[in-house]
Amino acid sequence: RVRFSSRLILTPSGLATLKSLKNLRRLSFDQQVFDEARAPNDGPAPHPDIIGFLKRFPLLEGVRLEGRAAIRENIEPLSSFAALKRLELFNVTDSTILPAVSRLTHLEALVIDAFSEPCAFMTPRFTPGDMARLGALTRLRSLRLTDVDAWTGQATLNIEPAPGAMKFLSQLTHLEDLRLKGDIEDALRAIPRPGHLRTLTVPDLGLRRDATLNFFKKASGLQQLIIGSQIFREFGGATCDEESRSFKACKAKQHRETERFNKHLASFFSTIRNVPSLHIWGRILPETLRHIADFRALRVSLNLDKVGKLSLSDLFHRFPVVEQLTLTAHGENVQLEPPKKWPRSFRRLDIDCTALHGAPGRPSLLSSTRDLHLRLFAPMRRETGVFYLVYASWPPWLSIGSTALKRLNGALDHPSTADSDRDVSCIPEELPSGVRRGQASFTEGKFGEGQWIEWGSGHRQYWPIFEASSLPQVVYTQLSSGITHFDGPVLTREALKALLKNTHLVSLKARKGKLASSASLKRAARLEALRLGGTVSLQHLAPMGKLNTLTAGKINAAPGAPPLPSLRRITILDGVKSAKDLHWLNALPSLRVLHLRNTRATDPMLKVIAARSKLTELVIESPAWNGPPDRHEESRSPQKTNSALTNAGLTALSSMRTLRVLHLEGDAIGLSGIRVLPPSLSSLTILGRGIGEDTIAHLATLPLKHLGFNAFPVSNTSLLRISRMGTLRSLRIWYKPDDRRWYKIFAKVEHLTLDMNAFELNAVPDRAGPLGRLKTFAFNKHVPAQIPMCHPNDNKILALLTKLRKRGVRVLTPGAP
């Protein structure tokens, strides 16, 4: 089996290297692999090399095509694959695929997922005649034309058949798995052998017709049934006007309709009472549970959503042999009362952690579970665009997640600050007895606004911890024995002491918070990386013989402090005010990398660094640096810049024969000309106002591999000088091109970074041919959320980036789709 995802870009020549996979059975392609280097408005087109590539594997049993790959021209050649049994088409935009699909008469499984992005004009529309062609697939065992949104209970795909379009189902005599959307009564009536169905997903199922009940009476072999909560909605009818003469007659009619509906509902659940797995998505009220009280044999799972207040004792009385229960609850007044006794057959409870808070004076649900296999999870809000669960777990199976994520893509879970603070962490102070805790490692991730903590042995499950919150003490005291890497938010003194009791700790990082003393750090002899927000004294780090990376707010060193030969990399977060603050350099003979943030570079500071260290990399970031100048703002001349750093400071660095990387930024830099630099320098970045043409002209004469600077505007003369640099491989500039020939200037560059966002490209080139050496194309600024999608100019920009990605270029566009 081979699947190419969007993170792997393969050229036709790269695909040709896979010819030796003669026994390949399943193959999946993302749309990026199939995408031609053309504008989106040119329409879909097959990739002849990839079609020929598919023909090299005659034994293929399953093929999955996505996006522009799922087109008629790519499906027709599959008719020659005699072994093909499964075809999956996702993000389909081609309305003409069904005739090609109907020719694959040997298929046993078919999945069609229509394109459902904001650009609605790309959604395909299948005619009833095309739908009828699917009747030729008489061997089909699985047909999926929709899916279910787990949070809303609604069908999510766009293939909604027109009346009479599902008559082809009468020819599918081997059907076992079926997913349909819309008014599906006619479709159910057309199924020839309901008794052969094993799985049925009909989220829009209603009980308006008696034929629906007759179908389920025949579907005696169902093992799993997935329906929507709208099945509990009563039949529609006219509203009654209180001032009308026929008000009483109208109310009597409504009452009769309600009684009729309740009979239909009771008859339906009585008919399907032997189905072992029932999933009901959508809003389920406790009073509606009385309709499914006949499910005495329910064994596998029951899924209910938004249950409100519910007594689990009453629930288990209705379902005495249920083995698995999934409950989600939203709102601030949710109360789930724990049962007096858990059923013997019960194995697993999946429950939203907002339901942990019991009524006042009553025990919490968690404290009553004991050794039960329990999973507490949190579905994220639909409007955030996230559709998966985030949870943490301890073996054997205790998982806890947080529903009170304060902010995720701007969406608030709880308007009340008090409730958010109370629920932001669902780790309880007391865990159930009998719950074993395995190895735990804490690692940093990059999603939303927080960090990830990775829990569990053999599992990769995540818990988002936002910088505004801190972990409860129970985490540090009870889980510190197995932690090797910790990257958390606020780190208190008590938490630090608990973590340092672990002799296996290799990396300790606190994202926020300051410590008054670091004396307790001497316990961690194996520590290799340390990050703290406060002040760190070097004499306290002496016992750490393996420490090589240190990040701190500030650093102190007492007179006569012993040297630290292992420390090679230091980052100062709170900055250095003067050269006197660098007195600790004498105690670090092996220091090679120094990063000074929030620091205003001065000549004396550079002289001290040059005299007391043998650095290979020096980075100084100024707090006054606010990015490149505005588009309409002219660059200030060097004479008007009140600079604290002059050429004298850089001349002092020329004595550093080992310095290879130099990065200086800030409004304080205003150099009119650079004449003396370290001979070993290969990477130079100078960001600040006042960089003139004479500075750029001199930089272009240096044998640099990386050059970064900001000058606005950049003249064509300067760009031509830079393009002639024979050694240059990486370039970072503030440049907004107005000429489509701009890419010719960067023909020799391998890594190009523009200090702008991707949609600020005014001039999009017609082709990207001269960018033949480009490996990385990055934009430093985040794409704002208000940029309209599906705009013609945006399509051109995305087409350019798609061309580069297809060629193998790594394109970094923060915030862009």
Beta strands in 461-516 (DSSP E): 461-466, 485-490, 507-512
Pairwise CA distance, residues 194 & 215, whole Å? 7
Whole-number Å distance between alpha carbons of 3 and 15: 12
C-alpha distances out from residue 297 to 214, 300, 301, Å: 21, 9, 11
Question: Could you write out the DSSP letters of every residue in 170-219?
Answer: GG-TT--EEE--SS-HHHHHH-S-GGG--EEEETT----SHHHHHHHHH-
- The burial of 463, by beta-carbon neighbours within 10 Å (0-12 exposed, 13-18 middle, 19 or more buried), is given as buried
408 pLDDT higher than 50: no
CA distance 313 to 16: 62
Reply yes or no on whether the pLDDT at 224 is more than 60. yes
Mean pLDDT for the chain? 67
What is the Cα–Cα distance from 390 to 572, expressed in whole angstroms?
Answer: 34
pLDDT in tens, 247-272: 888 888 888 888 888 888 888 888 88
**What's the pLDDT at 420?**
29
User: Phi/psi of residue 412, each to 5°?
Assistant: -95, 130
Band (pLDDT 50/70/90 cuts) for residue 436 is: very low
Query: Are 664 and 724 in a shared domain?
Result: yes
pLDDT attached to residue 616? 93
Q: In which element (H, E) is residue 376 found?
A: strand 373-377
Specify the DSSP element, H or E, that contains 411.
strand 411-412
| Residue, of 407 and 213, whose pLDDT is higher | 213
pLDDT of residue 38: 35
Query: Is 193 within the bounds of a domain?
Result: no
| Same domain? 723 vs 659 | yes
| Percent of the chain at pLDDT exceeding 70 | 53
CATH code of residue 712: 3.80.10
DSSP tag of 645: B
**Regarding predicted confidence, which is higher, 160 or 596?**
596
Q: Provide the domain limits for residue 768.
A: 736-817
Rounded distance between C-alpha atoms, residue 365 and residue 553, angstroms: 43
Q: Assess whether 598 and 677 both reside in one domain.
A: yes
Query: What is the share, in percent, of the chain residues with pLDDT greater than 90?
Result: 9
Domain-embedded: residue 609: yes
> Does residue 772 fall inside a structural domain?
yes
Do 662 and 653 meet the contact criterion of CB atoms below 8 Å apart? Answer: yes
Which residue in 580, 625, 590, 585 sits closest to 734, CA to CA? Answer: 625
Q: So what's the pLDDT on residue 467?
A: 32
722 and 596 in a common domain: yes
654 & 743 share domain: no
pLDDT reported for residue 441: 31
Encoded amino acid at 782, one letter: H
**What is the DSSP track for 20-78?**
T-TT--EEEE-HHHH--SS-GGG-----HHHHHHHTT-TT--EEEEEGGGSSHHHHGGG
* 33 touches 46 (CB < 8 A): no
Distance CA(720)–CA(696), nearest Å, equals: 11
Last residue of a domain, one of 711, 728, 745: 728
User: Distance (Å, rounded) from C-alpha 476 to C-alpha 478?
Assistant: 6
State the DSSP H helix or E strand holding residue 144, giving kind and residue range, or none if neither.
Answer: strand 142-144
Q: Quick one: which H or E segment has residue 695?
A: helix 693-699
Pick the more confident residue, 609 or 319: 609
The pLDDT assigned to 118 comes to 42
Question: Quick check: is 719 in a domain?
Answer: yes
Angle between helices 210-218 and 247-271 (to 10 degrees): 10
Q: Mark whether 753 and 699 lie in a shared domain.
A: no
pLDDT value of position 70: 79
Strand 373-377 relative to strand 335-337, pairing: unpaired
Query: What band does 484 get if pLDDT is binned at 50, 70 and 90?
Result: low
Residue 39's pLDDT band (cuts 50, 70, 90): very low
Q: What is the pLDDT of residue 500?
A: 72
pLDDT number for residue 615: 93
Is residue 685 one of the residues assigned to a domain?
Answer: yes
Q: 393 in helix, strand or coil?
A: strand
Confidence check: pLDDT of 719 > 70: yes
Question: How many residues make up the chain in this entry?
Answer: 817
Task: Tell me the average pLDDT across 298-319.
Answer: 64
Of 55-64, 546-555, 759-768, where does mean pLDDT reach its minimum?
Answer: 759-768
- Look at the block and give the residue holding tokens 């601030």: 332
pLDDT tens for 523-543 read 677 788 888 877 888 887 877
Instruction: Say which amino acid occupies 526.
Output: R
| DSSP per position, 271-304 | HTTT-SEEEEES---GGGGGGGTT-TT--SEEEE
Lowest mean pLDDT: which of 223-237, 275-289, 566-580, 615-629? 275-289
> What pLDDT, on a 0 to 100 scale, did the predictor assign at position 595?
95
Classify residue 573: in a domain, yes or no: no
Question: Which is more confidently placed, 251 or 397?
Answer: 251
Mark whether 703 and 806 lie in a shared domain.
no
What does each C-alpha distance from 115 to 37, 75, 86 come to in angstroms? 21, 17, 20
For 57-112, write each residue's pLDDT tens digit.
Answer: 778 888 888 777 778 888 888 888 888 899 988 777 777 888 999 999 999 999 88
Name the 3-class secondary structure at 570. strand
609 sits in which H/E element:
helix 603-612
pLDDT at residue 521 in the model: 63
Residue 746 lies in a domain: yes
Does residue 702 sit in the same domain as residue 614?
A: yes
Encoding tokens for residue 81? 């694959």
Closest CA to 84 of 114, 56, 111, 104: 104
pLDDT of residue 592: 94
Q: Report the chain's terminal Cα–Cα distance, integer Å.
A: 29
Q: How far apart are CA 354 and CA 349, in angstroms?
A: 14
| 231 residue type, one letter | I
Q: Which two tokens stand for residue 159?
A: 């293939």
Query: Can you tell me the mean pLDDT for 339-364?
Result: 55
Same domain, 655 and 747: no
The pLDDT value given to residue 357 = 42
Q: List the beta bridge partners of residue 618.
A: 594, 662
Of the two residues 343 and 756, the one the predictor is more confident about is 756
- Same domain, yes or no: 676 and 768: no
pLDDT at position 271 is 85
pLDDT reading at 776 higher than 70 = yes
* DSSP secondary structure letter of residue 598: S
Q: CA separation (Å) from 157 to 147, 282, 386, 424?
A: 6, 17, 17, 33
Residue 367 counted as domain residue: no
**Predicted confidence (pLDDT) at residue 591 exceeds the cutoff of 90:** yes
- Residues in CB range of 544: below 8 A, 6 or more apart: 521, 522, 524, 525, 527, 530, 564, 566
The answer to whether the Cα torsion of 526, 529, 531, 537 is positive or negative is positive
pLDDT digits (tens, 9 = 90+) for 164-207: 677 888 899 999 999 887 667 778 888 889 999 999 988 778 77
Is residue 448 very low, low, confident or very high in pLDDT (cuts 50, 70, 90)?
very low
pLDDT of residue 522: 63
Are the CB atoms for 315 and 293 separated by under 8 Å?
Answer: no
For residue 25, what pLDDT is reported? 78
> Is 82 exposed, middle or buried (CB count within 10 Å of its CB: 0-12, 13-18, 19+)?
exposed
Lowest mean pLDDT among 14-18, 464-468, 595-599: 464-468
Tell me the C-alpha distance between 382 and 149, whole Å.
9
Q: Do 661 and 618 contact (CB within 8 A), yes or no?
A: yes
Highest mean pLDDT among 570-574, 692-696, 813-817: 570-574
Cβ neighbours, 10 Å, residue 769: 12
Residue 340 bridge partners (DSSP): none
Domain end, chosen from 707, 728, 749, is at 728
Domain count, the chain: 2
pLDDT level of residue 235 (50, 70, 90 thresholds): low
- Mark whether 698 and 747 lie in a shared domain: no
How far is residue 289's CA from residue 266's CA, in Å, rounded to a whole number? 11
The mean pLDDT of 417-432, rounded to a whole number, is 31
Report pLDDT digits (tens) over 109-143.
998 876 544 444 455 667 777 888 888 999 999 99
CA-CA-CA-CA torsion sign (538, 540, 546, 550): negative
Contact, 385 vs 379, CB < 8 A?
no
Query: What is the C-alpha separation between 631 and 454, in angstroms, rounded?
Result: 44
Residues whose CB is less than 8 angstroms from the CB of residue 166 and which lie 6 or more positions away in sequence, other chains included: 131, 180, 184, 186, 187, 190
CA distance 563 to 278: 68
Lookup: tokens for 153: 């209970």
For residue 282 the two structure tokens come to 């959508």
pLDDT of residue 203: 77
Q: Per-residue pLDDT tens for 490-533?
A: 566 666 776 777 666 777 777 665 554 555 666 677 788 888 87
Same domain, 767 and 714: no
In terms of average pLDDT, the best of 380-389, 535-544, 732-741 is 535-544
Pairwise pLDDT comparison (478 vs 709), residue with the higher score = 709
For residues 538 and 559, the answer to whether their CB atoms sit within 8 Å is: no
Of the three residues 677, 695, 728, the one that is the final residue of a domain is: 728
- pLDDT, residue 613, reads 87
- Residue 738's pLDDT is 62
What is the tens place of the pLDDT at every residue in 358-370?
434 444 444 444 3
